[in-house]
Structure 1
Amino acid sequence: MQKISEELLAQARSGDETANAAVIAHMMPAIQKGASLYQAPGLDREDIVQEGLIGLFSAVRSYRPAAGVPFAAFAAACIRNAQQDACKMALRKKHAPLNFSVPLPDVDGTDTRPGPEEQAIASEACADALHKVHTELSATERKVLLASVNGLSPAQTAKTLGTSPKSVANALARARRKLRGTQS
């Protein structure tokens, strides 16, 4: 693998698409390696690759040859830092609801009606979920969950149930945790 020249970096810094593509091609093995090392719930491999590319673009903009560090080493550190930061952010507790949510299916115009097998599986899963709601949740948790499913805000639910919005939010969090099966 050849060294990235100062001229190529200057062209990439000025926005030359060909130069940017050459720098990306040169550094892609480091980006891919980082993507295989860093994993977090809610953070796909493609996301980590994108974070690595962002780190690379930052390296191209901020690299100063006078510091005496080769560009490849500087860029690898920027890529690694960007990917580590993305993993740290994904693991923060405030992102937990996103990490454990269920993605909506893509709608591309094709016939996506389920066949008989899928319908039977979905029916069984629905029955299991309803059974879990009735056996594992308290009455308050069931009421709060139902209100949430019907689109009521915690404040509206609290007013209806005669309790505080914080109590409603806590009951909803407990219900979700129980239904996911992660007790903590």
Structure 2
Amino acid sequence: MQKINEELLACAQQGDEAALAALIARMMPAIRKGAAACRAPGLDFEDAVQEGLIGLFQAVRGYNAAAGTPFAAYAAACIHHAQQDAQRAALRKKHAPLNFSVPLPDAEQIPQPGPEELAIAGERYADTLQRMRTDLSVMERRVLIASLHGQPASQTAQALGTTPKAVANALARARRKLRGE
């Protein structure tokens, strides 16, 4: 365990960045050793090192020399506890969905269709509408349109004055005809 100069510690507690950097340099071997010991799925070595550094910052902020414990021992305990807390949190798998999720692409990354694709899609749409007018019966068209609007079969049946089974059959026929079967 490194012996920490009390003057260096006092400067770090007062916000001296150079003193804090010197404390970090002296405690880094202990932080790295603790990080290597507490690896877990969802907790990388670098993350454990960061947790150890957070523990060291808490030790610098909360150390009281009047308690009689040497700073190095107090800091080692704070580092160890911070890393153990991170390991326990990683083992709970509370954030597993976030760790293994795939980010959604930005709107700029989604490829926009070109004029050719838009023209082809427009032709397909017009062809489908024409086939709906010519190939489907009035009942099949009404049932299909109600289904496309999210209306349940029971509500469609009530509006058309028929049974839900007749609505389901008409919808199946319409789909079959539009697929070209």
Query: TM-score per shorter chain, which class?
Result: 0.5 to 0.7
**Counterpart residue identity of residue 18, structure 1:** A
Q: Is residue 8 of structure 1 aligned with residue 19 of structure 2?
A: no
Scaled by the length of structure 2, the TM-score of the pair is 0.53
Cα distance, 1:7–1:94 mapped onto 2, change above 3 Å = same
**Counterpart residue identity of residue 47, structure 1:** D
Scaled by the length of structure 1, the TM-score of the pair is 0.53
Quote the residue 1:31 is aligned against: 31
> What percent of counterpart residues are identical?
73
**1:97 to partner: Cα distance:** 1.2
**Counterpart residue identity of residue 76, structure 1:** A
Write the distance in 2 (CA, Å) between the matches of 1:18 and 1:43: 29
Cα distance, 1:160–1:47 mapped onto 2, change above 3 Å = farther
Which aligned segments of 4 or more residues in structure 1 are displaced greater than 3 angstroms?
99-104
Quote the residue 1:41 is aligned against: 41
Cα distance, 1:41–1:25 mapped onto 2, change above 3 Å = same
Cα distance, 1:9–1:71 mapped onto 2, change above 3 Å = same
Alpha-carbon contact 1:41-1:100 (below 8 Å) kept: no
Write the distance in 2 (CA, Å) between the matches of 1:160 and 1:91: 46
Quote the residue 2:72 is aligned against: 72
**1:90 to partner: Cα distance:** 1.6
Write the distance in 2 (CA, Å) between the matches of 1:37 and 1:160: 59
Quote the residue 1:22 is aligned against: 22
**Counterpart residue identity of residue 87, structure 2:** C
Write the distance in 1 (CA, Å) between the matches of 2:49 and 2:151: 47
**Counterpart residue identity of residue 59, structure 1:** A
Provide Cα deviations, 1:32-51, integer angstroms capped at 9, x if missing partner.
Answer: 00110011222211111000
**Counterpart residue identity of residue 72, structure 1:** A
Cα distance, 1:70–1:160 mapped onto 2, change above 3 Å = farther
What's the Cα RMSD here? 2.4
Quote the residue 1:63 is aligned against: 63
Alpha-carbon contact 1:51-1:79 (below 8 Å) kept: yes
Cα distance, 1:2–1:30 mapped onto 2, change above 3 Å = closer
Quote the residue 2:83 is aligned against: 83
Alpha-carbon contact 1:31-1:79 (below 8 Å) kept: yes
| Matched position secondary structure for 2:94 | helix
Aligned length: 107
Quote the residue 1:122 is aligned against: none
Write the distance in 1 (CA, Å) between the matches of 2:52 and 2:64: 20
Q: How does 1:114-125 map to 2 (within 5 A)?
A: none
**Counterpart residue identity of residue 95, structure 1:** H
Cα distance, 1:160–1:43 mapped onto 2, change above 3 Å = farther
Alpha-carbon contact 1:42-1:100 (below 8 Å) kept: no
**1:88 to partner: Cα distance:** 1.1
Answer with 1 or 2: which has the greater Rg.
Answer: 2
